[in-house]
Amino acid sequence: MSEPKDNEVICKACEKEFKTDRQLHAHIKVHDLRVVGYYQKYYPRHDLHDGKIIKFKTKEQYFSTDFNSRTTLRLWLKNGDIESSKQYCEKVLVERKDKKDLIYTPSQTEMRTVLVPPIQYYDEIFGDYYSFCESLGFKNKYEKPTEMTTGKEYEKPQYSIHVDTREQLPLTFDDYPTEIKTLSVGDYTFSEPKLTCNCYIERKSLADFISTLSVKNFERFEKEIIRAKEMEAKLIVLVEDTLNNACKFKYLPYISKKIKVTPEYIFHNVRFLIQKYPHIQFLFVKGRGESKRVIKKIFFSGCLHKKIDLQYAYDLDIL
């Protein structure tokens, strides 16, 4: 059975109509069904690789994925013929574009936080992910990343990295000078904005990142993003943990079990912000030491951060 039509909220067990999914989900208890069982019974969907029923986390997730894990996705792509893989990869992007009203080519962070083939695979089978997305009607913010070179002009004695006064446990940069300043947005910026195209970096632990993207703090964070836009600044949110860990933070021992929000909710907000505000990027790196290295490389590469997807560059060991 296919996915429910837009605005159709009808109980398949008794044909009773409701105004919202929430009302429907409360009602199905009278049929001795949980939400998971209801959708798996009346809208069964199966993993394309092994045929197992798709696991239900949210309604959106259930109807937007064809696999239960990246392992079965990878095996299906590996074992199938190239034309089938191409057709599937195109379908994935077209459906996401139409259902989500996407304007911009999905970034590495967007692609890695949903169960779809990674950008690397699109590059492999289509030659260039960005050219392919453009052919489907997406607008490219970035181009395929190449080597990030750093310039000697950033090593002049009059330059420094500015650190916000509110930054706790500020980073130090291997004999490179820093100055404590009150920044309007972010935690780090370069002393000469023109050399980095007005780039600001906001550093966060994984716990800070989760809190910032949660219900209570989301509106305040969005105001900061808008403030950066008004400054004609580029804002990079740098999270000191891997993207893999961030996607499964509920299982990490160093993340409080009191956190009720799910990774699905957090990354739904991340994807929303990336599409709404083209001047923001999210970048996940392997800890505090990597933060120092990456911040320097971003600043010392000038305006290259405007042209490339930093998470993709990091995953390719270019950043």
**Residue 1 pLDDT exceeds 60:** no
**Residue 248 pLDDT exceeds 80:** yes
In this predicted structure, what is the pLDDT of residue 159? 95
Residue ranges per domain, the chain?
1-44, 70-135, 152-315
Query: pLDDT by residue (tens digit) across 18-70?
Result: 999 999 999 999 999 999 999 999 999 999 999 999 999 889 889 999 999 99
In this predicted structure, what is the pLDDT of residue 151? 76
Amino acid letter, residue 248: K
What is the average per-residue pLDDT within 295-316?
96
Separation between Cα atoms, residue 319 and residue 83, nearest integer Å: 33
CA distances from 174 to 154, 192, 289, 291, 295 (A): 14, 19, 11, 12, 12
CATH topology of domain 152-315: Rossmann fold (3.40.50)
End-to-end CA distance of the chain: 45
CB 28 within 8 A of CB 38: yes
User: pTM of whole model > 0.95?
Assistant: no
Q: Which of 188, 146, 190, 186 is nearest to 163 (CA)?
A: 188
pLDDT confidence bin for 8, thresholds 50/70/90: confident
